[in-house]
């Protein structure tokens, strides 16, 4: 009876995986089909007439390399800054005792309840006053700080054994040495999780880059893809759009494959145990 339940569970998981992977599989296949034949191939599991012309056309018809570079710079710097600042703040809220600590943390939790769309207009005026419109700084700065990252790191640091930190202090380590040499390495699973979430969110961000950028040279991939789709009034080049979509997903998949060891295995195992 138990084995039947296990088999049924695996079958359900396989069906869910297939239903989620099939659209991605279809996107890759259709990106290798000529645009004029895409709709005639719709509904087929395997398509005929494969070509890489869609990928070459994308680089010829839009500044894809520039958009890719902009997205990569913004996503990498935002992820690094978010991880650094969230780790420092989370460690302070978890280990340091200072006045109004709980009140400040409550304020941070409240900011998580505010929809991001509410902050767009104030952020735009702030970036305009700082003369950061259409710059990398304007794209990056709003994403360096977030309540979710601080909350995640604080909760993880609270679960770490304090004995190792106390031993480090006895050995003469100051606060920053204890953080960077003891606490942060032990928090690699949480760091990997936060980095993955931040990278994916920043890479897929559309609204803020659309508002804060004006020139074509500062566009990110999601904005460039939307502009490319809207630039053809009479006909939409679906093959090129699908090829660009495939290119957009490659870095996200790469980041997940690199961090999956920490994101899955270490999280499930629970990190360090006393």
pLDDT score, position 235: 66
Residue 184 is part of a domain; what is its CATH number?
A: 1.10.3720.10
Q: Which domain holds residue 205?
A: 52-269
For 13, counting Cβ atoms within 10 Å of its Cβ (0-12 exposed, 13-18 middle, 19+ buried), the class is exposed
Q: Which of 56-60, 124-128, 199-203 has the lowest mean pLDDT?
A: 56-60
Segment 132-146 shows an average pLDDT of 92
Least Cα distance to 190 among 160, 220, 211 occurs for: 160
**Who wins on pLDDT, 144 or 233?**
144
**Position 175 in a domain:** yes
pLDDT score, position 231: 58
**Position 233 in a domain:** yes
Terminal-to-terminal C-alpha distance of the chain: 37
For 124, counting Cβ atoms within 10 Å of its Cβ (0-12 exposed, 13-18 middle, 19+ buried), the class is middle
Asked whether residue 174 carries a pLDDT value surpassing 60, the answer given is yes
Least Cα distance to 53 among 38, 43, 72, 70 occurs for: 38
Asked whether residue 139 carries a pLDDT value surpassing 90, the answer given is yes
**Position 33 in a domain:** no
What is the pLDDT confidence band of residue 170, given thresholds at 50, 70 and 90? confident
Best mean pLDDT range from 23-32, 41-50, 64-73, 244-253 = 64-73
pLDDT score, position 153: 92
**Position 30 in a domain:** no
Segment 27-49 shows an average pLDDT of 71
Asked whether residue 215 carries a pLDDT value surpassing 80, the answer given is yes
Least Cα distance to 186 among 160, 154, 166 occurs for: 160
Instruction: For residue range 176-204, list pLDDT tens digits in order.
Output: 888 888 888 888 888 988 999 999 999 99
pLDDT score, position 127: 92
Q: Which of 17-21, 221-225, 266-270 has the lowest mean pLDDT?
A: 266-270
Tokens of 62: 């839009």
**Position 108 in a domain:** yes
**Who wins on pLDDT, 126 or 272?**
126
Instruction: For residue range 230-240, list pLDDT tens digits in order.
Output: 655 556 677 78
**Position 8 in a domain:** no
**Position 166 in a domain:** yes
**Position 219 in a domain:** yes
**Who wins on pLDDT, 124 or 34?**
124
**Who wins on pLDDT, 274 or 162?**
162
pLDDT score, position 41: 60
Asked whether residue 141 carries a pLDDT value surpassing 90, the answer given is yes
In the three-class reduction of DSSP (H, G, I as helix; E, B as strand; rest coil), residue 113 is classed as coil
What is the pLDDT confidence band of residue 48, given thresholds at 50, 70 and 90? low
Structure pTM? 0.84
Query: If you compute the radius of gyration of the chain from its CA atoms, what whole number of angstroms results?
Result: 23
Which residues does 173 contact at the CB level (< 8 Å), separation at least 6? Answer: 181, 182
Asked whether residue 264 carries a pLDDT value surpassing 80, the answer given is no
Q: Percent of the chain at pLDDT above 70?
A: 87
To the nearest whole number, what is the mean pLDDT of the chain?
84
What CA–CA distances, in Å, run from 225 to 123, 164, 269?
24, 49, 40
Segment 147-165 shows an average pLDDT of 88
Overall number of domains in the chain: 1
């Amino acid at each position: 009876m138990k084995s039947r339940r296990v088999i049924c569970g695996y079958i359900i998981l396989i069906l869910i995986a297939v239903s989620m992977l099939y659209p991605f599989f279809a996107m890759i296949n259709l990106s290798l089909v000529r645009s004029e034949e895409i709709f005639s191939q719709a509904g087929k599991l395997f398509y005929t007439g494969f070509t890489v012309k869609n990928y070459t056309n994308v680089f010829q018809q839009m500044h894809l390399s520039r958009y890719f570079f902009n997205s990569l710079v913004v996503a990498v710097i935002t992820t690094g800054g978010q991880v650094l600042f969230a780790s420092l703040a989370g460690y302070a809220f978890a280990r340091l005792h200072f006045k109004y600590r709980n009140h400040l943390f409550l304020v941070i939790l409240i900011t998580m309840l505010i929809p991001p769309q509410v902050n767009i207009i104030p952020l735009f005026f702030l970036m305009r006053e700082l003369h950061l419109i259409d710059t990398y700084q304007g794209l990056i700065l709003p994403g360096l700080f977030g309540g979710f990252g601080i909350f995640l790191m604080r909760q993880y640091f609270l679960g770490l054994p304090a004995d190792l930190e106390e031993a480090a202090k006895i050995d003469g380590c100051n606060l920053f040495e204890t953080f960077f040499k003891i606490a942060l390495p032990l928090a690699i699973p949480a760091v990997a999780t936060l980095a993955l979430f931040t990278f994916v969110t920043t890479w897929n961000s559309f609204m803020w880059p659309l508002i804060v950028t004006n020139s074509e040279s500062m566009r990110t991939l999601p904005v460039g893809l939307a502009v490319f789709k809207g630039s053809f009034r009479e006909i939409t080049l679906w093959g090129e759009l699908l090829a660009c979509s495939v290119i957009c997903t490659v870095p996200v998949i790469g980041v997940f494959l690199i961090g999956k060891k920490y994101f899955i295995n270490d999280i499930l195992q629970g990190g360090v145990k006393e």
